[in-house]
Amino acid sequence: MLKIVRELAVDNPLVLKIIMGVIALTFVITMGWWGIQMPGQNVVITVNKHEIEVQEYRRAYNQAIDYYRELYKGEFNAEMIEKMKIRDKVMEDLVARELWIEKAGELGIRVSDEELRDNIMKMKVFHKDGMFNRTLYDRLLASNRLTTQGFEVAQRKEIIIEKAKRIIKDSVSVSDEEVNDTFPLNITGSKEVSVQRPIEEMQRLKKFLQFQKQEKAVNAYAAAMRGQAKINVNKELL
């Protein structure tokens, strides 16, 4: 399973997040919980009106542990779990996802069935001989104990989240002046001589700077959403 997760992370890092979320959803649907629970008794995080149950959190946490254990091999231990604050990171990621989905709903963002199908068919992990292979698709999902419906529901949510973030990113622009201020030219000789960057270098630096500004803008927007949200955490269930 971890081998498949690594392949997903290389071909499409977005799928790694989807796998973590969908496994949690599948677990809730197929496995249930210990005995009969009263409404709200199983809720570990409340984000505005949305409830995240403890099963979803624990499955996401376990997937994160598996990922880091594979990444750090024998160096990974209980001390690293505490230092890396993995529990908090998982919780924050789940909260952030719900806030982005909520914002996307407010913005009227939707994903059509055709768009969802095209997105999945482009994932190289599901390709064989250069083309999407349905048998391979079903087999990989089954090997990870995922249903087709569950995976596609989660994938639709991921696309919606990325669309919401794209609106923020597209509002960011970078001018030539910003590039030159951030990466000053080393000019020697007469100041009267006009020196310009090569076009390819300017485009490369502008793309790099724009990426940085976009990430900052998305993070700032996410922080603002979190600051306005009503979030309750039942730490006893973590």
What integer best gives the mean pLDDT of the chain? 84
Task: Look at residue 34 in the predicted model and tell me its pLDDT.
Answer: 33
* DSSP code of residue 73: G
Q: What is the pTM of this model?
A: 0.74
**Fold entry, domain 2-170+233-237:** Triger factor/SurA peptide-binding fold (1.10.4030)
In the chain, the amino acid numbered 15 is V
Task: Look at residue 216 in the predicted model and tell me its pLDDT.
Answer: 97
Identify which of 74, 65, 79 has the alpha carbon closest to the alpha carbon of residue 2. Answer: 65
Is residue 177 over pLDDT 60?
Answer: yes
Mean pLDDT of 168-173: 96
Is residue 238 over pLDDT 60?
Answer: yes
Domain locations in the chain as residue ranges: 2-170+233-237
Whole-Å CA distances, 166 to 15, 57, 133, 159, 172:
18, 27, 29, 10, 10
Whole-Å CA distances, 53 to 56, 95, 98, 204, 211:
6, 12, 13, 44, 35
Look-up of token digits 């990426």: 211
Mean pLDDT of 140-165: 93
Q: What does the alpha-carbon distance between residue 42 and residue 193 come to, in Å, rounded to a whole number?
A: 70
For 36-94, the pLDDT digits (tens) are 334 457 999 999 989 999 988 998 899 899 999 999 998 999 999 999 999 999 999 99
